[in-house]
Amino acid sequence: MVSFIGYPRSGKTTLIISLFAEIFAQRILRGVNIIPRGEETIKRVNEDIARLESSRELGPTTDQDLFSYRVEMLTGRNIFSRRYKIELGDFPGEASENLASEEPEWLHPTKYFQWALNADAFIFVIDLEYLSDFESDNAVKYKLAITSSFRAAWQKIKDHHYDGVRRLQDNPIVVVFTKADLLSYSEDSYSEKNMNNSPHLPRNYNKPIIIDSKEQKIMEKENQIKKYFRDVIEYFKSETNKFNIVFSSVFAKEKNDGIRFGMEALARSVLPK
């Protein structure tokens, strides 16, 4: 079970669907067979892939739309093959906020809370569109809110497992910075894109920009962002033996291999090896 935790419109659903699209096209996890299970999963995945490929935005997950994608993963061949049952939880960003802010008594009966508590891997999603200017009030408020809410969410998950039934230090935690295509813009053009104070700007899934993750400018910006979110990153690093940071974008492809930016790293961070 893989839980995606993040604020509203941070790109969680789009991230999940793009991950499926890359796997089905054998651009990532080559040689691994991912089989959707159940009519609901098959219908949802293929409808949403079609929406992305026709350049239509995926709508936000609603309070009534708590969905888990059920798949089987087959690795290896013949007697060396292994079969894994995997569920990826897609829940409203509002539910992720509730995990950190609401009283535990209110959360315990909710489907989202039960999912997050019992997941095997945890993906915390941070939206880069709020960070056009690190010194702006919006960016500072977002950083403080992310740090506080993610830390509180993890502490509530830990509190649930305090009896030692599970050792959370062996569970993967991944911090994913979404919309990393913005790293390719200059500071001036990035700021200009956000002058209207609307952080969610239209992009074309079928015309992804090309990013070289080894380019000095990109690596410097990634390091700046890691430094900016140092507190929450260092906290998670101290909580698990399997921590990773991934910069991703469904609107960009890696220069060297043409894979959607960060998707291979994300898949290998949380799926069975």
Q: How far is CA 71 from the centre of its chain?
A: 18
Three-state secondary structure readout of 137-184: HHHHHHHHHHHHHHHHHHHHHHHHCCCCCCCHHHCCEEEEEECHHHHH
Separation between Cα atoms, residue 268 and residue 249, nearest integer Å = 16
- Reply yes or no on whether the pLDDT at 223 is more than 90: yes
What are the residue ranges of helices labelled H in the chain?
Answer: 12-24, 39-53, 93-101, 104-107, 111-118, 137-160, 187-193, 216-228, 230-239, 263-270
Q: Cβ(262)–Cβ(178) under 8 Å? A: no
Q: How far is CA 225 from the centre of its chain?
A: 16
The per-residue pLDDT for 272 is 74
pTM for the full predicted model: 0.84
Please report, for residues 14, 27, 143, the alpha-carbon distance to residue 19 in angstroms, rounded to integers and kept in the order given. 8, 10, 26
pLDDT tens column, 181-208: 988 876 554 454 444 444 445 577 888 8
Looking only at the bridges linking them, the beta strands covering 249-254 and 209-211 are parallel
Residue 163 carries which side chain, given as an amino acid letter? Answer: D
Map tokens 């230090």 to a residue.
169
Read off the tokens for 79. 């007697």
The per-residue pLDDT for 228 is 96
Q: Where are the domains of the chain?
A: 2-270
Map tokens 């690190």 to a residue.
134
DSSP state of 214: T
pLDDT tens column, 5-52: 888 778 888 888 999 999 888 899 887 888 889 998 899 899 989 988
The per-residue pLDDT for 106 is 47
Which of the pair, 108 or 151, is modelled with greater confidence? 151
Containing H/E element for 122? strand 121-127
pLDDT tens column, 82-131: 888 888 877 766 666 666 665 555 445 566 667 778 888 999 999 998 88
Read off the tokens for 155. 């502490």
Separation between Cα atoms, residue 139 and residue 141, nearest integer Å = 5
**Sign of torsion over alpha carbons 53, 11, 26, 3:** negative
Separation between Cα atoms, residue 210 and residue 86, nearest integer Å = 31
- Can you identify the CATH homologous superfamily of domain 2-270? P-loop containing nucleotide triphosphate hydrolases (3.40.50.300)
Residue 87 carries which side chain, given as an amino acid letter? Answer: E
